[in-house]
Amino acid sequence: MRVVRPLNQARGGLTHHRVGIDCRFASTHSGLGRYTREVVTHLLKRSDPIEYVLFVRDTSEEWLRRCPPANYKLQTTNFPHYSLREQLLFPLLITRTGIDLFYSPHFNVPFFCRAPYIATIHDLILHRYPNQASFQRRAAYRVLMARSLKKAERIIAVSAFTASEVRRMYGKDATVISEGVDPVFHPRSNREIEYVRQRYDIRKPFFLYVGNAKEHKNLQTLIEAFRLLHDASRELVLVVSGKERASLVTSCGVRVLHDLPDENLAALYSAAECFVTASLYEGFCLPVAEALSCGCPVVAAHSTAIQEVAGKSAVLVEPTVQALCSALHAPPRRTSPVAFPSWDTIASHISDILLASTSRIP
Protein backbone atom coordinates (compact mmCIF):
# COMPACT_ATOMS: atom_id res chain seq x y z
CA MET A 1 0.00 0.00 0.00
CA ARG A 2 1.33 3.44 -0.92
CA VAL A 3 1.57 5.80 2.05
CA VAL A 4 0.89 9.48 1.46
CA ARG A 5 1.90 11.75 4.32
CA PRO A 6 -0.72 14.37 5.13
CA LEU A 7 0.03 17.89 4.02
CA ASN A 8 1.13 20.50 6.53
CA GLN A 9 2.92 17.84 8.58
CA ALA A 10 6.21 19.67 9.10
CA ARG A 11 9.41 17.70 9.42
CA GLY A 12 12.43 18.74 11.41
CA GLY A 13 11.01 22.17 12.27
CA LEU A 14 11.48 23.40 8.68
CA THR A 15 9.08 25.83 7.03
CA HIS A 16 7.20 23.92 4.36
CA HIS A 17 5.90 25.57 1.23
CA ARG A 18 3.30 23.95 -0.94
CA VAL A 19 4.19 23.33 -4.60
CA GLY A 20 1.66 22.10 -7.16
CA ILE A 21 2.82 20.08 -10.19
CA ASP A 22 0.78 19.53 -13.34
CA CYS A 23 0.99 15.74 -13.81
CA ARG A 24 -1.77 15.33 -16.39
CA PHE A 25 0.70 14.17 -19.08
CA ALA A 26 2.25 11.57 -16.77
CA SER A 27 -0.09 8.76 -17.77
CA THR A 28 0.63 9.13 -21.51
CA HIS A 29 3.11 7.21 -23.67
CA SER A 30 4.88 10.36 -24.82
CA GLY A 31 8.10 12.24 -24.23
CA LEU A 32 6.26 14.67 -21.98
CA GLY A 33 4.76 11.74 -20.13
CA ARG A 34 8.13 10.19 -19.41
CA TYR A 35 9.65 13.54 -18.42
CA THR A 36 6.81 14.26 -15.99
CA ARG A 37 6.87 10.79 -14.41
CA GLU A 38 10.62 10.78 -13.94
CA VAL A 39 10.93 14.31 -12.57
CA VAL A 40 8.02 13.96 -10.15
CA THR A 41 8.99 10.49 -8.91
CA HIS A 42 12.55 11.63 -8.19
CA LEU A 43 11.45 14.91 -6.59
CA LEU A 44 9.33 12.85 -4.17
CA LYS A 45 12.39 10.78 -3.22
CA ARG A 46 14.05 13.87 -1.82
CA SER A 47 13.70 15.29 1.68
CA ASP A 48 13.08 18.87 0.66
CA PRO A 49 10.88 21.06 2.90
CA ILE A 50 8.16 21.06 0.25
CA GLU A 51 4.59 19.76 0.39
CA TYR A 52 3.48 18.71 -3.07
CA VAL A 53 0.06 18.75 -4.69
CA LEU A 54 0.06 16.50 -7.76
CA PHE A 55 -2.61 17.45 -10.28
CA VAL A 56 -3.44 14.12 -11.97
CA ARG A 57 -6.15 12.93 -14.33
CA ASP A 58 -6.92 9.90 -12.16
CA THR A 59 -5.63 9.00 -8.69
CA SER A 60 -5.39 5.31 -9.68
CA GLU A 61 -2.86 5.82 -12.50
CA GLU A 62 -0.25 3.05 -12.72
CA TRP A 63 2.80 5.32 -12.43
CA LEU A 64 1.63 6.64 -9.05
CA ARG A 65 2.14 3.17 -7.56
CA ARG A 66 5.87 3.64 -8.07
CA CYS A 67 5.96 6.94 -6.19
CA PRO A 68 7.72 6.71 -2.81
CA PRO A 69 6.02 7.65 0.46
CA ALA A 70 6.23 11.43 0.59
CA ASN A 71 4.58 14.62 1.73
CA TYR A 72 2.03 15.05 -1.06
CA LYS A 73 -1.63 15.11 -2.01
CA LEU A 74 -3.29 13.85 -5.18
CA GLN A 75 -5.77 16.22 -6.79
CA THR A 76 -7.97 14.91 -9.61
CA THR A 77 -7.68 17.34 -12.55
CA ASN A 78 -9.31 15.79 -15.58
CA PHE A 79 -9.29 18.86 -17.82
CA PRO A 80 -8.22 18.12 -21.42
CA HIS A 81 -5.06 19.92 -22.51
CA TYR A 82 -5.60 23.06 -24.60
CA SER A 83 -9.32 23.08 -23.79
CA LEU A 84 -11.55 25.92 -22.63
CA ARG A 85 -12.27 24.00 -19.42
CA GLU A 86 -8.54 23.83 -18.73
CA GLN A 87 -8.11 27.56 -19.17
CA LEU A 88 -11.14 28.55 -17.09
CA LEU A 89 -11.46 25.85 -14.41
CA PHE A 90 -7.88 24.75 -13.75
CA PRO A 91 -6.82 28.19 -12.39
CA LEU A 92 -9.73 28.06 -9.91
CA LEU A 93 -8.62 24.62 -8.73
CA ILE A 94 -5.02 25.79 -8.40
CA THR A 95 -6.19 28.68 -6.21
CA ARG A 96 -8.37 26.42 -4.04
CA THR A 97 -5.47 24.10 -3.19
CA GLY A 98 -3.60 27.02 -1.62
CA ILE A 99 -0.27 26.27 -3.29
CA ASP A 100 2.54 28.78 -3.04
CA LEU A 101 4.14 27.85 -6.36
CA PHE A 102 2.97 26.00 -9.48
CA TYR A 103 5.39 23.90 -11.55
CA SER A 104 4.43 22.97 -15.10
CA PRO A 105 6.72 20.35 -16.75
CA HIS A 106 5.68 21.86 -20.11
CA PHE A 107 4.76 25.29 -21.51
CA ASN A 108 1.00 25.05 -21.08
CA VAL A 109 0.32 27.03 -17.92
CA PRO A 110 -3.36 28.11 -17.78
CA PHE A 111 -3.67 31.70 -19.00
CA PHE A 112 -5.45 32.88 -15.86
CA CYS A 113 -3.16 31.11 -13.36
CA ARG A 114 -2.72 33.48 -10.41
CA ALA A 115 -0.07 31.49 -8.56
CA PRO A 116 3.60 32.20 -9.29
CA TYR A 117 4.92 29.45 -11.52
CA ILE A 118 7.91 27.79 -13.14
CA ALA A 119 7.67 26.11 -16.55
CA THR A 120 9.86 23.69 -18.49
CA ILE A 121 10.12 24.41 -22.21
CA HIS A 122 11.01 21.37 -24.31
CA ASP A 123 10.90 22.96 -27.75
CA LEU A 124 9.14 25.53 -29.88
CA ILE A 125 8.02 22.92 -32.38
CA LEU A 126 4.71 24.43 -33.50
CA HIS A 127 6.50 27.59 -34.55
CA ARG A 128 8.11 25.57 -37.33
CA TYR A 129 6.15 22.36 -37.81
CA PRO A 130 2.39 22.62 -37.16
CA ASN A 131 2.10 18.81 -37.44
CA GLN A 132 -1.44 19.17 -38.87
CA ALA A 133 -2.54 21.22 -35.88
CA SER A 134 -5.58 23.38 -36.63
CA PHE A 135 -5.28 27.14 -37.04
CA GLN A 136 -7.11 27.60 -33.73
CA ARG A 137 -4.68 25.34 -31.89
CA ARG A 138 -1.66 27.05 -33.42
CA ALA A 139 -3.03 30.45 -32.42
CA ALA A 140 -3.76 29.23 -28.88
CA TYR A 141 -0.27 27.72 -28.70
CA ARG A 142 1.39 31.02 -29.51
CA VAL A 143 -0.79 32.96 -27.05
CA LEU A 144 -0.17 30.48 -24.22
CA MET A 145 3.56 30.18 -24.94
CA ALA A 146 4.00 33.96 -24.93
CA ARG A 147 1.98 34.32 -21.72
CA SER A 148 3.80 31.46 -19.96
CA LEU A 149 7.23 32.86 -20.79
CA LYS A 150 6.30 36.44 -19.93
CA LYS A 151 4.87 35.67 -16.47
CA ALA A 152 7.09 32.78 -15.33
CA GLU A 153 9.19 33.17 -12.19
CA ARG A 154 11.82 30.96 -13.82
CA ILE A 155 12.05 29.14 -17.13
CA ILE A 156 13.74 25.76 -17.54
CA ALA A 157 14.91 24.63 -20.99
CA VAL A 158 15.93 21.03 -21.67
CA SER A 159 18.84 22.03 -23.92
CA ALA A 160 20.99 24.99 -24.82
CA PHE A 161 19.36 24.89 -28.25
CA THR A 162 15.87 25.30 -26.76
CA ALA A 163 17.14 28.07 -24.48
CA SER A 164 18.52 29.88 -27.53
CA GLU A 165 15.17 29.50 -29.31
CA VAL A 166 13.35 31.00 -26.31
CA ARG A 167 15.80 33.89 -26.16
CA ARG A 168 15.64 34.54 -29.91
CA MET A 169 11.86 34.40 -30.27
CA TYR A 170 10.74 35.80 -26.91
CA GLY A 171 13.75 37.61 -25.45
CA LYS A 172 13.61 35.52 -22.24
CA ASP A 173 16.47 33.72 -20.49
CA ALA A 174 16.12 30.11 -19.43
CA THR A 175 18.09 27.82 -17.12
CA VAL A 176 19.30 24.75 -19.01
CA ILE A 177 18.54 21.46 -17.23
CA SER A 178 18.76 18.53 -19.61
CA GLU A 179 16.64 15.41 -19.58
CA GLY A 180 17.95 12.36 -17.74
CA VAL A 181 18.44 8.72 -18.69
CA ASP A 182 17.02 5.92 -16.57
CA PRO A 183 19.57 3.34 -15.33
CA VAL A 184 17.58 0.66 -17.15
CA PHE A 185 19.23 1.89 -20.34
CA HIS A 186 22.57 0.12 -20.27
CA PRO A 187 24.10 -2.64 -22.42
CA ARG A 188 22.01 -5.76 -21.92
CA SER A 189 23.15 -9.38 -21.79
CA ASN A 190 23.09 -11.79 -24.71
CA ARG A 191 20.27 -13.65 -22.98
CA GLU A 192 18.13 -10.51 -22.80
CA ILE A 193 18.92 -9.66 -26.41
CA GLU A 194 17.92 -13.13 -27.56
CA TYR A 195 14.70 -12.86 -25.57
CA VAL A 196 13.56 -9.66 -27.32
CA ARG A 197 14.58 -11.01 -30.71
CA GLN A 198 12.32 -14.01 -30.15
CA ARG A 199 9.60 -11.95 -28.45
CA TYR A 200 9.26 -9.63 -31.47
CA ASP A 201 10.40 -12.14 -34.11
CA ILE A 202 13.43 -10.10 -35.20
CA ARG A 203 15.70 -12.58 -36.97
CA LYS A 204 17.97 -10.32 -39.02
CA PRO A 205 20.46 -7.56 -38.18
CA PHE A 206 18.41 -4.38 -37.84
CA PHE A 207 18.40 -0.60 -37.62
CA LEU A 208 16.24 0.91 -34.89
CA TYR A 209 14.09 4.04 -34.65
CA VAL A 210 12.24 5.08 -31.47
CA GLY A 211 9.79 7.98 -31.32
CA ASN A 212 6.58 9.20 -32.91
CA ALA A 213 5.68 9.73 -36.56
CA LYS A 214 4.82 13.42 -36.54
CA GLU A 215 5.76 15.62 -39.46
CA HIS A 216 9.06 16.89 -38.08
CA LYS A 217 10.31 13.36 -37.35
CA ASN A 218 10.73 12.97 -41.12
CA LEU A 219 10.09 9.25 -40.71
CA GLN A 220 8.92 8.60 -44.25
CA THR A 221 12.31 9.87 -45.46
CA LEU A 222 14.01 7.29 -43.23
CA ILE A 223 11.78 4.52 -44.59
CA GLU A 224 12.61 5.57 -48.14
CA ALA A 225 16.35 5.62 -47.33
CA PHE A 226 16.10 2.06 -46.03
CA ARG A 227 14.19 0.98 -49.16
CA LEU A 228 16.89 2.55 -51.35
CA LEU A 229 19.49 0.46 -49.49
CA HIS A 230 18.18 -2.68 -51.28
CA ASP A 231 19.55 -4.91 -48.51
CA ALA A 232 17.28 -7.87 -47.80
CA SER A 233 19.66 -9.10 -45.09
CA ARG A 234 18.63 -6.26 -42.74
CA GLU A 235 15.45 -4.90 -41.21
CA LEU A 236 14.31 -1.47 -40.08
CA VAL A 237 12.49 -1.69 -36.74
CA LEU A 238 10.32 1.31 -35.86
CA VAL A 239 9.14 1.62 -32.25
CA VAL A 240 6.50 4.24 -32.89
CA SER A 241 3.94 5.88 -30.61
CA GLY A 242 1.05 8.16 -31.45
CA LYS A 243 -1.83 8.09 -33.90
CA GLU A 244 0.37 9.25 -36.79
CA ARG A 245 1.90 5.78 -37.15
CA ALA A 246 -1.28 4.69 -38.94
CA SER A 247 -0.37 6.94 -41.88
CA LEU A 248 3.12 5.47 -42.42
CA VAL A 249 3.75 3.86 -45.79
CA THR A 250 6.16 1.02 -45.09
CA SER A 251 8.09 -1.23 -47.44
CA CYS A 252 9.52 -4.74 -47.30
CA GLY A 253 11.76 -5.26 -44.28
CA VAL A 254 10.19 -2.50 -42.18
CA ARG A 255 8.66 -3.57 -38.85
CA VAL A 256 6.43 -1.34 -36.69
CA LEU A 257 6.23 -1.96 -32.92
CA HIS A 258 4.74 0.10 -30.09
CA ASP A 259 4.32 0.26 -26.31
CA LEU A 260 7.46 -1.70 -25.36
CA PRO A 261 8.52 -2.00 -21.71
CA ASP A 262 11.75 -0.12 -20.99
CA GLU A 263 13.66 -3.36 -20.32
CA ASN A 264 12.76 -4.66 -23.79
CA LEU A 265 13.55 -1.33 -25.39
CA ALA A 266 16.99 -1.30 -23.74
CA ALA A 267 17.61 -4.79 -25.10
CA LEU A 268 16.62 -3.63 -28.60
CA TYR A 269 19.06 -0.71 -28.36
CA SER A 270 21.70 -3.22 -27.28
CA ALA A 271 20.92 -5.52 -30.21
CA ALA A 272 20.57 -2.97 -33.01
CA GLU A 273 23.29 -2.29 -35.55
CA CYS A 274 22.56 1.36 -34.94
CA PHE A 275 19.84 3.76 -33.86
CA VAL A 276 18.80 6.09 -36.68
CA THR A 277 16.63 9.19 -36.87
CA ALA A 278 15.96 11.64 -39.68
CA SER A 279 14.23 14.14 -37.37
CA LEU A 280 14.32 17.75 -38.54
CA TYR A 281 13.68 19.34 -35.14
CA GLU A 282 14.43 18.22 -31.59
CA GLY A 283 14.45 20.11 -28.33
CA PHE A 284 16.50 17.29 -26.79
CA CYS A 285 15.90 13.82 -28.41
CA LEU A 286 15.92 11.40 -25.48
CA PRO A 287 16.12 8.24 -27.69
CA VAL A 288 19.57 9.36 -28.87
CA ALA A 289 20.73 9.55 -25.24
CA GLU A 290 19.11 6.20 -24.40
CA ALA A 291 20.76 4.52 -27.40
CA LEU A 292 24.21 5.89 -26.57
CA SER A 293 23.74 4.82 -22.94
CA CYS A 294 23.24 1.26 -24.22
CA GLY A 295 26.36 1.46 -26.40
CA CYS A 296 24.24 1.58 -29.54
CA PRO A 297 25.82 3.56 -32.42
CA VAL A 298 23.75 6.51 -33.66
CA VAL A 299 23.08 7.91 -37.13
CA ALA A 300 21.08 11.12 -36.92
CA ALA A 301 20.16 14.25 -38.80
CA HIS A 302 22.55 17.14 -38.27
CA SER A 303 19.89 19.42 -36.81
CA THR A 304 18.78 21.43 -33.77
CA ALA A 305 19.58 19.83 -30.35
CA ILE A 306 20.71 16.45 -31.69
CA GLN A 307 24.33 17.54 -32.10
CA GLU A 308 24.30 18.93 -28.56
CA VAL A 309 22.99 15.66 -27.08
CA ALA A 310 25.06 13.28 -29.21
CA GLY A 311 28.29 15.27 -29.17
CA LYS A 312 31.01 13.38 -31.03
CA SER A 313 29.39 10.01 -30.33
CA ALA A 314 27.16 9.93 -33.40
CA VAL A 315 27.37 10.08 -37.17
CA LEU A 316 25.45 13.20 -38.16
CA VAL A 317 24.23 13.60 -41.74
CA GLU A 318 21.90 15.73 -43.82
CA PRO A 319 18.27 14.56 -43.38
CA THR A 320 17.95 13.40 -46.99
CA VAL A 321 17.21 9.99 -48.47
CA GLN A 322 20.60 9.71 -50.13
CA ALA A 323 22.66 10.83 -47.10
CA LEU A 324 20.81 8.49 -44.75
CA CYS A 325 21.09 5.60 -47.20
CA SER A 326 24.85 6.12 -47.46
CA ALA A 327 25.20 6.19 -43.67
CA LEU A 328 23.20 2.97 -43.29
CA HIS A 329 25.23 1.28 -45.99
CA ALA A 330 28.27 1.48 -43.67
CA PRO A 331 26.86 2.00 -40.13
CA PRO A 332 29.20 3.10 -37.33
CA ARG A 333 30.76 0.49 -35.07
CA ARG A 334 29.48 -0.19 -31.57
CA THR A 335 31.41 1.69 -28.90
CA SER A 336 31.47 1.98 -25.12
CA PRO A 337 28.27 3.33 -23.52
CA VAL A 338 28.08 7.09 -23.01
CA ALA A 339 27.21 8.42 -19.53
CA PHE A 340 24.32 10.88 -19.23
CA PRO A 341 22.90 12.56 -16.10
CA SER A 342 20.48 10.43 -14.11
CA TRP A 343 16.95 11.55 -13.32
CA ASP A 344 18.08 11.88 -9.69
CA THR A 345 20.53 14.55 -10.81
CA ILE A 346 17.93 16.29 -12.98
CA ALA A 347 15.42 16.32 -10.09
CA SER A 348 18.11 17.78 -7.82
CA HIS A 349 18.65 20.71 -10.18
CA ILE A 350 14.91 21.32 -10.52
CA SER A 351 14.57 21.09 -6.73
CA ASP A 352 17.17 23.85 -6.37
CA ILE A 353 15.01 26.12 -8.52
CA LEU A 354 11.81 25.24 -6.64
CA LEU A 355 13.48 25.87 -3.28
CA ALA A 356 15.03 29.16 -4.44
CA SER A 357 11.64 30.33 -5.68
CA THR A 358 9.71 29.29 -2.56
CA SER A 359 12.36 30.88 -0.31
CA ARG A 360 11.24 34.27 -1.62
CA ILE A 361 7.63 33.55 -0.60
CA PRO A 362 6.66 35.08 2.80
pLDDT tens sequence across 104-144: 999 999 999 999 999 999 999 888 887 666 777 777 888 89
pLDDT for 141 equals 83
Count other C-beta atoms under 10 Å from residue 237's C-beta. Answer: 22
Longest C-alpha distance within the chain, in Å? 69
Mean pLDDT for the stretch of residues 251-270: 94
pLDDT tens digits, 344-353: 999 999 999 9
Q: Which domains does the chain have, with CATH numbers?
A: 4-180+343-358 (3.40.50.2000), 190-329 (3.40.50.2000)
Mean pLDDT for the stretch of residues 164-188: 97
In angstroms, the CA 50 to CA 351 distance is 9
pTM assigned to the model:
0.91
Contacts 24+ apart (CB under 8 A), 66-72: 66/41, 67/2, 67/40, 67/41, 68/41, 68/44, 69/2, 69/3, 69/4, 69/5, 70/4, 70/5, 70/44, 70/45, 71/5, 71/7, 71/9, 71/11, 71/16, 72/4, 72/5, 72/7, 72/44
Q: Is 24 exposed, middle or buried (0-12, 13-18, 19+ CB in 10 A)?
A: buried
In angstroms, the CA 287 to CA 212 distance is 11
